[in-house]
């Protein structure tokens, strides 16, 4: 999936609860519960319908001590977002 010009938003069916080391995403209608680590939580917060992939990667690079090449970081972020989309935790902003 080409994500360069797309933006994403959290699925409003899920409650997003931040914790010290990450976040929980809970759907009270289905009892689904997912957890993400600190970087995943940061990405979820950036998926507000305004940030494109380049901005998300740039912000991660600035916020965390990233020890990977920029192209690998981008692939990992895209992979995370694809998993979140497959789980219906994120949606593409229309």
Query: Whole domain around residue 24: which residue ranges?
Result: 8-92
Domain count, the chain: 1
With bands split at pLDDT 50, 70 and 90, how would you rate the model's confidence at 48? Answer: very high
Give the span between the Cα atoms of 68 and 90, in whole angstroms.
25
Residue 14 placed within a domain: yes
One-character DSSP codes across 17-67: EE-SSEEEEEETTTTEEEEEEHHHHHHHHHTBTT--HHHHHHHHHHHS---
Residue 50 placed within a domain: yes
Residue 2 placed within a domain: no
Residue 56 placed within a domain: yes
Place of tokens 């914790």: 19
With bands split at pLDDT 50, 70 and 90, how would you rate the model's confidence at 1? Answer: low
Q: Provide the CATH number for the domain around residue 57.
A: 3.90.930.60
pTM score of the predicted model: 0.91
């Amino acid at each position: 999936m080409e994500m360069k010009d797309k933006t994403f938003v959290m699925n409003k069916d899920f409650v997003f609860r931040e914790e010290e080391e990450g976040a929980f995403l809970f759907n009270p209608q289905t009892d689904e519960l997912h957890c993400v680590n600190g970087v995943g939580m940061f990405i979820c917060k950036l998926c507000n319908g305004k940030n494109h992939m380049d901005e998300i990667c740039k912000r991660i690079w600035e916020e965390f001590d990233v020890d990977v090449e920029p192209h690998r970081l981008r692939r990992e972020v895209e992979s995370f977002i694809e998993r979140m989309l497959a789980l219906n935790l994120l949606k593409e902003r229309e």
